[in-house]
Amino acid sequence: MASPVGGARRFGRPAALLATAGFLLAFFSYGWLFVSAEVFPSAVADETGLTRFDVQLLLLTNPLETIAGWCDGDLDHFGMLHRLEVLLVAGLVVVSARCLGQWLLRRARDNCGFSPLEQTVFATALGLGLFSLFTFVVGVAGGLQQRWIFWFAIVVPLAWTTVGAVRGWQTRPQTERRRWRFRPRFSLGWLAVPFVVFILLGATLPPWEFDVSEYHLQVPKEWFQQGRIDFLPHNAYGNMPMGAELHAVLGMALMPGSLSWWWGALVGKVVLAVYALLTVLALIAAGRRFASTEAGILAALAFVTTPWVAYVSMAGLVEIVWGCYLTLALYAALLWSGVQVLLGNPAEGRPAGAPRLRAKGRLAHLLLAGAMAGIAAACKYPALLLVIVPLAVWVLCSQRRIAWKPFALFLAAASVFVGPWLIKNWLLAENPVYPLMGTVWAGRERAAQSDLRWRRAHATRAVSVDELQRAVSGLVWKSRWQGPILVPFAMLAVWAAWRHRGIFPLLAFVAIYLTCWWLFTHRIERFWVPLLPLLAWLAGLGASFLQRATGRWLVRLVVLSGLLWALPWITSGLIGDTRVLVSLEKLRQGEVLPLAGPTPRWSAFRYLQRNIQRSQRVLLVGEARVFQANFPVLYNTCFDSCRFEQLLAGKSRAERVAALRAAGVAYVLVHWGELERYRAPGNYGYSEFITRPLVHDELVRQQELLRPVPIGMPSRVIELFQVQAAE
Query: What is the chain's alpha carbon radius of gyration, rounded to the nearest angstrom?
Result: 27
Query: What percent of the chain clears pLDDT 70, i.e. is strictly above it?
Result: 90
Q: Is the pLDDT of residue 361 over 80?
A: no
3-class state of residue 240 by DSSP: coil
Cβ–Cβ under 8 Å, residues 305 and 562 = yes
For residue 450, what pLDDT is reported? 78
Q: Region 15-32: what's the mean pLDDT?
A: 74
Whole-number Cα distances in Å, 181 to 14, 164, 178, 220, 281: 46, 22, 9, 43, 21
Q: Is the pLDDT of residue 7 over 50?
A: no
Q: What DSSP letter does each residue of 128-194 carry, written as one string?
A: HHHHHHHHHHHHHTT-TT-HHHHHHHHHHHHHHHHHHHHHHHHHS-GGGPPPP-------GGGGGHH
* C-alpha to C-alpha distance for 58 and 63, rounded to whole angstroms: 9
For residue 1, what pLDDT is reported? 39
Q: Which of 527, 522, 595, 260 is nearest to 383 (CA)?
A: 527
Query: What percent of the chain clears pLDDT 90, i.e. is strictly above it?
Result: 59
Whole-number Cα distances in Å, 428 to 140, 240, 379, 418, 688: 11, 12, 19, 16, 29
Q: Region 110-123: what's the mean pLDDT?
A: 89
For residue 357, what pLDDT is reported? 65
Q: Region 151-170: what's the mean pLDDT?
A: 88
Q: Is the pLDDT of residue 711 over 70?
A: yes
Q: Is the pLDDT of residue 412 over 80?
A: yes
For residue 46, what pLDDT is reported? 45
pLDDT tens profile 195-226: 999 999 999 999 999 999 999 999 999 999 99
For residue 41, count other CB atoms closer than 10 A to its CB.
Answer: 12
Query: Facing residues of 620 across strands?
Result: 669
Q: What is the dihedral of CA 341, 346, 352, 357, to 10 degrees?
A: 70
Lowest mean pLDDT among 312-321, 427-436, 651-660: 427-436
Question: What's the distance, Cα to Cα, between the start and end of the chain in Å?
Answer: 86
Which residues, 6 or more positions from 283, have their beta carbon under 8 angstroms from its beta carbon?
A: 296, 299, 300, 303, 327, 533, 536, 537, 540
Cβ–Cβ under 8 Å, residues 502 and 337 = no
For residue 215, what pLDDT is reported? 95
pLDDT tier at 348, thresholds 50, 70, 90:
low
Q: Region 240-269: what's the mean pLDDT?
A: 96
Cβ–Cβ under 8 Å, residues 540 and 302 = yes
Cβ–Cβ under 8 Å, residues 533 and 327 = yes
pLDDT tens profile 42-69: 434 444 677 888 888 888 888 888 899 9
Average pLDDT value for the chain: 88
Say if residue 568 is preceded by a cis peptide, omega within 30 of 0.
Answer: no
pLDDT tens profile 60-100: 888 888 899 999 888 899 999 999 999 999 999 999 999 99
* C-alpha to C-alpha distance for 333 and 410, rounded to whole angstroms: 10
Phi, psi values for residue 20, rounded to 5°: -65, -45
For residue 597, what pLDDT is reported? 73
Instruction: Work out the angle at residue 309's Cα, subtended by the Cα atoms of residues 492 and 27, and round it to the nearest 5 degrees.
Output: 25
Q: Which of 288, 283, 291 is nearest to 341 (CA)?
A: 291
pLDDT tens profile 564-597: 999 998 998 888 899 999 999 999 988 888 877 7
Which domains does the chain show, CATH number per domain?
80-165+189-342+358-446+472-575 (no CATH), 598-723 (3.40.50)
Q: Which of 4, 85, 97 is nearest to 256 (CA)?
A: 85
For residue 179, what pLDDT is reported? 58
pLDDT tens profile 295-322: 999 999 999 999 999 999 999 999 999 9
Q: Which of 429, 430, 396 is nearest to 411 (CA)?
A: 396
For residue 177, what pLDDT is reported? 53
Q: Is the pLDDT of residue 695 over 50?
A: yes
Q: Region 154-167: what's the mean pLDDT?
A: 90
For residue 178, what pLDDT is reported? 60
Q: Is the pLDDT of residue 158 over 80?
A: yes
**3-state SS string over 148-162?**
HHHHHHHHHHHHHHH
Cβ–Cβ under 8 Å, residues 237 and 260 = no
Q: Is the pLDDT of residue 137 over 80?
A: yes
Whole-number Cα distances in Å, 363 to 108, 338, 369: 9, 12, 10
pLDDT tier at 449, thresholds 50, 70, 90:
confident
3-class state of residue 719 by DSSP: strand
Cβ–Cβ under 8 Å, residues 700 and 706 = yes
Lowest mean pLDDT among 91-95, 267-271, 541-545: 541-545
Whole-number Cα distances in Å, 226 to 10, 140, 174, 220, 238: 66, 11, 55, 10, 14
